[in-house]
Amino acid sequence: MRAKAVVNRFLLLGLLGALPSMAAPPQPAAREIDQLIAGLGASGCDFQRNGSWYPPKKAEEHLRRKYEWLRERNMVATAEEFIERAGTQSSMSGRAYSVRCPGKPVVNSAAWLRARLLEMRKANPSPAR
């Protein structure tokens, strides 16, 4: 009976070790993601999801919620992963997100976010990526 308890304890520890940790992405990536989200919120550009347009602050709130969900599950380690997993399409409907800035054509959100990321990196180059 004692041997069975030891085996069960090892199995439990193994299962707990297999659970994803609630680790944040590395600091440079977390900073980039935060800047991307905040940049959309301050952009003056509307955000389309599931067929409806939302003002920039609502877009920011939505992407922050999605980012937190991913972060809690240790599913995002880079800004590129954030764009792909949270900023590209609705996880409910699968429909692509769009961004509409004044005086510019509507673009898909992935392209908009990638362009912002490139601009940020050009302005603040970092050797550790």
Q: What is the CA radius of gyration of the chain?
A: 19
- Name the DSSP letter for residue 20: P
Evaluate whether 84 touches 114 at the Cβ level (below 8 Å).
Answer: no
pTM of the predicted structure, to 2 decimals? 0.78
* pLDDT tens digit sequence for 69-127: 999 999 999 999 999 999 999 999 999 999 999 999 999 999 999 999 999 999 988 75
